[in-house]
Amino acid sequence: MHVDGTEKKWVILSFLMAFAMMGILTAYAINYNIRPPSNVETVDSNALHLTKEFAEDNLGLKVLADGTVTVTMVAARYGFYPQNLKVPSDTSIKFRLASADVLHGVHTAGTNMNTMVVPGYVSELTTTFPHVGKFPMFCNEYCGLGHDYMWSRLIVVPKDQFTLPAPQGGAQ
Amino acid sequence: MEARMAASESRLPLANIWIAFITFALAAFMGLYQVAERSGLFPKIEIIELYFRSVSSHGVIMGYVLTTFFIMGFGYWVASSSLKIPLWGGKKLGWLGFLISLGGTAMAAIMLFTGKASIMYTFYPPLKANPLFYIGAAFLVVGSWVWCLQMVMTMNVWKKQNPGVPVPLSMYGMTANAILWFITSLGVSSEVLFQLIPWSLGWIDTIDVGLARTLFSWTLHAIVYFWLIPAYIAFYTLVPKAAGGKLFSDEFSRISILMLLVFSLPIGMHHLYVDPFQSAGWKFVHMIGTFMVAVPTLITGFTVIASMEVAGRLRGGKGLFGWIKALNWSNPMVLAGGLSLLMLTVGGWGGVVNASYSMDVAVHNTQWITGHFHLIFAGTTVIMYFAIAYYMWPSLTGKPLFSKKMALAQLWLWFIGMLILTLPWHILGLIGQPRRIGVPPYSAEFTAPWEPYLILMFTGGVILFFSALLLIINLLFSHLKRKSSERPVMEYAQALHPSLKMPTLLNGFGFWTAVIAVYMVASYGYPILQFFLMETHGTFPWSI
């Protein structure tokens, strides 16, 4: 078997490049907890209205007893509910989303808010919005012929101008 | 005698390749319609039902039909021209596989064209298509398994007849691809056979979307390497030959093919990075594998560029870069090889972003992704399919190519069009345009920055469609020519240091198949099993 000297160096370099990229991503994951959104939790998407958490009058922003700022949302053809969402800047916010019908996705460009919303499962992600302003939340996964119409507004208000609601009793 | 034999051997590959390119032409026209619709320049053609019908058909044809038929045709021709023995199981078995795949394709196509399967090439349950769509797709895959079997068995017969002799590299790569395709297609086949078909027929009420998406992800990444390996085979065995040089290293070509085979299979979960139902730990494991797969691509880049340098220097090129100028760029295979490598470099860089565990959320499901895979697949890979077709055509049809100039123009236009189409798509993705939208009625404050890129996209699409037409005209006019030339032999590059003996591990697949089996169980075992261990809630079918 013939191995050329330059080729051998290149192979070693290729492995080193791959390891370097894995290393950087691992370091970010461990040190800054930057991970893709994951949450292995099931929900009956056919009966969301019967769950306490995703019932219509429970959607939106609230503060849990432990102080966590949580936004509960439902994705359903063709909108995200609540349709206009106001959140404070520079605050860690936990989003919990469920689909009432088919596959959806939500993405706000320029932020880390990007998750699929899969029927049968609860999506969860925690993020902070450092920039104040109006942002779109587009449905980014084909969900039927009305897909183009599925989007909502996210309004990030300066933290000091935002009054958080009183903490609710009990966990989610 | 040999010419007559070649003529009879060539019918099966030709039939496969014509199906590939005829459907490609149809899908290219749909692509033109889609960029026109999406550009917002022609309000009259903004018909959303038609748009999603077209997107679904375009994806299924380009991703499954063009690729599968082209690769089967190329594989059959490589087998007979490199091994020079009859196909295992005979040509009739090959025709049977072809007819099963063709029948399935026709069934699925009727459902797609009539708007009864506008659910994208990714199927997307719980959106439900007509059951005939899923059944047709299953037949397309089952027919291709006949091809897989024939590739593996023909190579084995040849090895028995030539003990100790290295399998020709082209056939070694083709067999690797057959094994890769068989194993990777098991994921989507399970989804279609055990979930989608019974569910769409109403035999079962609900479907577990998490399980369906996990099974699909099993297929979704390695399928890309099934499409790409034929291009790599051309890089190793045809580009150096056409350039008038030699393959830099036979051994490292095999090592990269084997690494692609092993590493590309258990990494599909990076397509699920933002799906909730798999935990971050499993996504991390698949991220590691995803970066490992960059290594064989980097090695391939070296081998191909080194082989081209050998050719350039043999042609009198001097100095650090003089050999590039000395290369025969007016040969379609050499030109396509160069352009393909350029697109692979840019597209691979974008791929690193998508593959990144942390950066993916910035681009997931945006138009960036569409830009990425058009650059890597429609650019890097399909431009090599064109060059392979031009290269094989005289030996397959027994007639010279109609116009080499037209072929060169076609390749340049494909390259330029693809860049004008995909680079703006990357930018659109970064500024927030989702993929798979028509002309959405979002507020103008968000969509105004998109407009210049949409115009560029449309321009790229027009150039690509024109290029696709040139391909079809050239191949058709060559084939229809009355005058038969002397049928040339299909030639492959020799290695710079030909090996009389090859280590067993680099001349067979038994050991590697076992490695893959273990690796697959390790990386997909629990992620699939978990759906049977927890209480899940299935979903009823929804129409589009």
* Token pair belonging to B442: 């979002």
Burial B103-139 (b: 16+ CB within 10 A, else e): ebbebbbebbeebbbbbbbbbbbbbbbbbbbbbbbbb
- Chain A residues touching B432 at Cβ < 8 A: 107-110, 136, 138
> In this predicted structure, what is the pLDDT of residue A16?
96
Asked if residue B531 lies in contact with residue B195, where contact means CB atoms within 8 angstroms, the answer is no
CATH class of A45-161: mainly beta
User: Which domain CATH number covers B128?
Assistant: 1.20.210.10
> In this predicted structure, what is the pLDDT of residue B485?
67
Facing residue for A121 by CB, picked from B210, B273, B542: B210
**Alpha-carbon dihedral angle through residues B70, B75, B80, B85, given to the nearest 10 degrees:** -150
Q: Which amino acid is at B253?
A: S
Other C-beta atoms closer than 10 Å to the C-beta of B347 total: 23
- The total domain count for chain B is 1
* Token pair belonging to B415: 């390259």
The residue of A3, A13, A19, A35 whose CB has the most chain B CBs within 10 angstroms, and thus the best one to mutate to test that interface, is A35
Does B222 reside within a domain? yes
Mean pLDDT of B237-260: 93
CB contacts under 8 A, A 94-153 vs B, are 101-103, 105, 107-110, 112-124, 134, 136, 138-145, 147-149, 151
Give yes or no for residue A41 having a pLDDT over 90.
yes
Give yes or no for residue B79 having a pLDDT over 60.
yes
3-state secondary structure of A87: strand
Between CA B27 and CA B54 the distance in angstroms is 8
Range of the domain at B306: 2-483+500-533
Of B421, B281, B98, B434, nearest to A38 (Cα)?
A: B281
Between CA A4 and CA B248 the distance in angstroms is 9
DSSP letters for A99-161: ESSS-EEEE-TTSS-EEEE-TTB-EEEEEE--S-EEEEEEE-S--STTGGG-EEEEEEEPGGG
- Chain A residues touching B285 at Cβ < 8 A: none
Q: Which amino acid is at B403?
A: S
CB contact under 8 Å between B442 and A136, yes or no, is yes
B271 phi, psi to nearest 5 deg: -75, -15
Mean pLDDT of B290-311: 92
B329 phi, psi to nearest 5 deg: -75, -10
The alpha carbon of residue B292 is apart from the nearest alpha carbon of chain A, in Å, by 6
* Domain boundaries of chain A, sorted by first residue: 1-35, 45-161
- Tell me what the pLDDT averaged over chain A comes to: 92
- Chain A residues touching B280 at Cβ < 8 A: 35-36, 38
What's the pLDDT band for B306 if we cut at 50, 70, 90? very high
Asked if residue B215 lies in contact with residue B125, where contact means CB atoms within 8 angstroms, the answer is no
* Helical (H) or strand (E) element with B446: helix B444-447
Does B541 reside within a domain? no
Does B111 reside within a domain? yes
What's the pLDDT band for B488 if we cut at 50, 70, 90? confident
Largest CA distance in chain A: 73
State percent of chain B over pLDDT 70: 99
* Token pair belonging to A172: 């989610």
| Distance (Å) of CA B212 to CA A121, A126, B226, B276 | 13, 26, 21, 13
Give yes or no for residue A172 having a pLDDT over 50.
no
Closest-CA residue in chain B for A15?
B295
Does B539 reside within a domain? no
Is the backbone peptide bond immediately before A136 cis, with ω within 30 degrees of 0?
no
